[in-house]
Amino acid sequence: MRAFVVDQYKQPLRQADVPEPVVGNRDVLVEVRAAGVNMLDEKIRAGEFKRVLPYELPQILGNDVAGTVIGVGAKVQEFRVGDEVYGRPGKDRIGTFAERIAVAEDDLALKPVSINAVEAASLPLVALTAWQALVERGNVQPGQRVLVHAGAGGVGTVAIQLAKHLGATVATTVSGGNADFVRSLGADIVVDYRSQDFEQILDGYDLVLDSLGGKNLEKSLRVLRPGGKAIGIAGPPDAAFARELGANPVLRLVMSALSSRIRRQARRLGVTYEFLFMRASGDQLRQITALVDSGSLRPVVGQVFDFDQTAEAVQALGKGGFRGKAVISRP
């Protein structure tokens, strides 16, 4: 079957003929109709995650899928041939930039009936990230204040809507041209990062979802109330993440050292910092599906590429310029 693979880190994706997926007893074989494109794909291609996600090259990329079930393992109970599904494969089983993929049953959910496959493929990774940050880690409650950075991006567009659904007052940072757009998603306070300093405007926030890292993360700590929490999805990783990975003691020390500075700053301010690398979850996707079908959450697709343009789609991530997610569509 056709797929797009990375042969060497930092090299462009290449279209290749690869073996058909192996379907285990609890796997679902999915005919890929659409696949979301994420910064994670670009970071894997560039080798930025090779120490924590040591894939054996060549590796098929792709972390979001929407498609049709064409086969099931002997012990699969929740899905049958013909079901329309979506999901984010487990981090050890990525590869949605292909004609077919075998996904663990627990990592899939039925596609929301109110949206098409392209829209569904835009959601899993970013929606699970937002859910795990705001609901699972942040426990956001009505009346709390949440800051979402990069509100016009893939994670940001979903996180704004989810935080608003949870009853929070939502602030976000975007370029001025996206101000009305993020307000339409539910943002209450919009900061133009090109002309305004969010640290000078915002204060007393319960939670910050940071997708930028670096100085932006440091400033984010200072807009939190005492006891508030910053959740970073761009790093630096921490020891808790190393334990989740099952990393060896040396790698645990390395990750702890990478985040030691920001954790010290957080302690001095009476706040906390956590790194989040989202995990696959069909159960959480089912809850997200309910929000989509009720109208509480809508996908934002900024650009659609044909399957043959997969390599170009990944390259386009670095250029930006579109709202929400880029998605690859197969006929």
pLDDT tens for residues 187-222?
999 999 999 999 999 999 999 999 999 999 999 999
CATH 3.40.50.720 residue ranges of the chain are 125-275
pTM over 0.85: yes
The pLDDT score that the predictor gives to residue 97 is 98
247 pLDDT above the threshold of 80? no
Q: Identify the bridge partners of residue 205 per DSSP, sorted by sequence position.
A: 224
Helix or strand holding residue 109 (H, E)? strand 108-110
- Over residues 150-163, mean pLDDT: 97
Alpha helices in the chain (DSSP H): 39-45, 117-121, 124-131, 154-165, 179-185, 198-201, 214-221, 239-245, 249-269, 282-294, 310-317
Whether the Cβ atoms of residue 88 and residue 63 lie closer than 8 Å to each other: yes
Render pLDDT for 160-176 as a digit per residue (tens, 0 to 9).
999 999 999 999 999 98
- pLDDT tens per residue across span 69-116: 999 999 999 999 999 999 999 999 999 999 999 999 999 999 999 999
Could you tell me where in the chain the CATH 3.90.180.10 domains are found? 2-123+299-329
d(CA 26, CA 218): 43
What's the pLDDT score for residue 122?
Answer: 98
Q: What is the mean pLDDT of the chain?
A: 95
Q: What is the CATH number assigned to the segment(s) 125-275?
A: 3.40.50.720
Q: What superfamily does domain 2-123+299-329 belong to in CATH?
A: Medium-chain alcohol dehydrogenases, catalytic domain (3.90.180.10)
Confidence grade of residue 299 (pLDDT, cut at 50, 70, 90) = very high
